[in-house]
Amino acid sequence: MLKEIYIRNLAVIREAVIPLVNGLNIFTGETGAGKSILINGINAVLGQRCTKDIVRTGCDKAVITALFTDLSPEAAAKLDELGISHENNEITVTREISADGGSVSRVNHRTASASLLKEIGSMLINIHGQHDNQILLDSDKHLRILDDFGGDNTLLNAYRETFRELQQTARKLGDLKRQEQFRIERSRYLNEIINDIGELDLEENEDAILEQEYHTAKNSEKTIIALKNAVQSIIGDEGANDIIVSAEREIAGYTDGILSLNNLYERLSAAEIELADIASELESLSEKIELDGQRLEYLGERLGNINRLKRKYAQDCTGLIQLYDNACTEIMQLDSSLDEIEKLSSRKEELLRTVTNQAKSLYDYREKTAEKFAAQVTAELEFLNMSGVVIKVRHEKGKLTSNGMDSVEFLISANRGEEPKPISKIASGGELSRIMLALKSVIADKDSIPTMIFDEIDTGVSGKAAQKIGIKLRDISRVRQVICVTHLSQIAVMAKNHLMIEKKIIDSRTETSVTSLDLDGRIAEIARIMGGEDPSRLMLDNARAEIEKAANLQ
């Protein structure tokens, strides 16, 4: 339970030590005295978000320390799991909020994160404020409330374990199917590469070699014709050779007397011999060049196939050979998942059958729980002065989720004989507070959270209804420590520990103090709530009588 709260420099609270007891602790005080600051302080040590605005003006930081004792086995186990000691079955939790916006959290003087405080705090305190009434307006939260009331999560935990395995199996199966599809598409692509390139059986730089041969082969016919024409130009009729011979004849009879002419004659004779030799070599060369039409066709076709693949795969000849080798290696390494897919598909079907049966069992359990829940909450509402109001649980089957196949919504009939309708369409603010109190009452002994805090549970109620709320809070405090902030005397008189929050002006500054009241102090405070400041003797007597009456109420 929460045994003590120490607060320093939190808003208008300069310093306060607040003792609490195992039972019903009631906080009262005038509007604006700072009751909400107390709740903010508790929220801070529970790891909730807080801002630098709550630091008292002119101070470096605000400090809130809470002492928790008599820890539940669940809380102790969580602390053991987190490696946090809890000697004498107690811990202290501290939150420091700096004026510059930073904060430091500690558990037993060990630095802790805000998320760690939340994790621990969720097992120590359950706070119910006005905003929590919105839970009643949100049908998505109703299933959790019903399960909390049921108290036995055996079926739900078993279902969730199977459902979680089903989800994991389905995800793995989906991944494998996607991988198998990728493998099929990849294999198709690799086989295309292997078939395309393997069919050509390429050799290194073959494209360059074939290009040269093709160029040569394609021009061989023109080359032969040119060579033969050249031969005819030399040795053919009226060719170069005939011209030279004719020139020799013209000057042959005049060479004896003229030395220079003789030299020219000899040069013509040599030219004749040289031309004849050139013609012979040209003839021989033309005969050596082959005209192979089939080879030319082959070269053209092969070069066309090679160039097509070069364009298709954006690779040169060397790259195509490497691409082929890589494809051959990779396709050998692509493992099929068909066997695993078949096993997982079978397991998925098996899990689906199991989880469906578990969901049905869970549905049947919740159906019985819903009947008990509706009956008990209706009885609690009748006690809380809401006679005639009936709670119904609309329980239907839906699709499988992590919570089962159940769709749950609480319905309310404000008057007997009227058709039950969703709470959000009927209940007023005061009714919501009492309905929530009724819910808290029926599930008070279902969990291990030792402390329950009610912040202005009395909103929208008065008179006899307020008295019934006070009695119900006292009933709950027999199994849980209850801390309640209230404005109503009917609730305040039920306190086992009554604390007054009071605002004062000290040295021209506002300060809020928290005082634990003795009997006389309680009488004075109850009288103030009932009749205002400076209560009369009659009002004080009435206050005393109400406190005595509350002590005797069953």
What pLDDT, in 10s, does the model give residues 375-404?
Answer: 998 888 888 888 778 889 999 999 999 999
Tokens (6 digits) for 364: 């049947």
Strands 125-128 and 390-401: unpaired
Instruction: List beta partners, residue 125.
Output: 451
How does residue 57 score in pLDDT terms, banded at 50, 70 and 90?
Answer: confident
Work out the percent of the chain whose per-residue pLDDT is above 70. 95
The average pLDDT across 145-157 equals 89
- Does 59 have pLDDT greater than 60? yes
Structural domain contains residue 169: no
Q: What sign has the CA pseudo-torsion 30, 36, 39, 40?
A: negative
For residue 230, pLDDT over 70 is answered with yes
Which span out of 122-126, 283-287, 289-293, 418-422 was modeled with the highest average pLDDT? 122-126
pLDDT above 90 as % of the chain: 34
Mean pLDDT of 196-216: 86
Residue 450's CB is within 10 A of a number of other CB atoms, namely 22
Examine residue 168 and state whether it is found in any structural domain, yes or no.
no
Residues 6+ apart with CB under 8 A from 261: 251, 254, 255
Mean pLDDT confidence for 504-528: 88
Task: Give bridge partners of residue 28 from the DSSP assignment.
Answer: 500
The span from the CA of 47 to the CA of 36, in Å, is 17
**261: in domain:** yes
Domain that holds residue 252: 184-333
CB neighbour list of residue 202: distance below 8 Å, 6 or more residues apart: 306, 317, 320, 321, 324
The secondary element (H helix, E strand) that includes residue 502 is strand 497-506
Q: Which residue bears the tokens 């049947």? A: 364
Secondary structure (DSSP) of 362-421: HHHHHHHHHHHHHHHHHHHHHHTT-TT-EEEEEEEEEEEETTEEEEEEEEEESSTTSPPE
Query: What integer pLDDT is reported at residue 508 of this predicted model?
Result: 76
* Residue 358 resides in a domain: no
Task: Say how far apart CA 547 and CA 518 lie, in whole Å.
Answer: 12
CB atoms within 10 A of CB 403: 20
Residue 524 makes CB contacts below 8 A (sequence gap 6+) with 535, 540, 543
Mean pLDDT of the chain: 86
Q: Is residue 429 predicted with pLDDT exceeding 70?
A: no
Question: What length is written for the chain?
Answer: 554
CB distance 491 to 469 below 8 Å = yes
Domain-located, residue 493: no
Q: What is the dihedral of CA 200, 206, 211, 213, to 10 degrees?
A: -100
| 313 within domain boundaries | yes
Q: Would you give the DSSP letter of residue 245?
A: H
3-state class of 83 per DSSP?
Answer: coil
Closest CA to 493 of 466, 515, 532, 454: 466
Closest Cα to residue 74, out of 124, 113, 110? 124
Tell me what pLDDT residue 526 has.
Answer: 93
Task: Answer yes or no: is 317 within a domain.
Answer: yes
Nearest-angstrom CA–CA distance, 147 and 209: 82
In a domain, 466, yes or no: no
Q: Where are the beta strands (DSSP E) in 189-258?
A: none
Please say if the pLDDT value at position 158 is more than 80. Answer: yes
Looking from the CA of 33 toward its CB, the CA atoms found within 13 Å total 18
How high is the pLDDT of residue 132? 59
Tell me, what's the pLDDT at 92?
93
Q: β-strands 404-413, 390-401: how paired?
A: antiparallel
Contact status, residue 475 vs residue 468, Cβ threshold 8 Å: no
| Separation between Cα atoms, residue 31 and residue 432, nearest integer Å | 22
Could you give the number of structural domains in the chain?
1
Write out pLDDT tens, residues 470-499: 888 998 898 889 999 888 999 999 999 999
In this prediction, residues 539-544 reach a mean pLDDT of: 92
User: Using the 8-state DSSP alphabet, how is residue 88 labeled?
Assistant: G
Asked if the model's pLDDT at residue 196 lies above 70, the reply is yes
Closest by CA position to 355, among listed 101, 91, 486, 169: 169
Confidence of residue 169 (pLDDT cuts 50, 70, 90): very high
SS3 22: coil
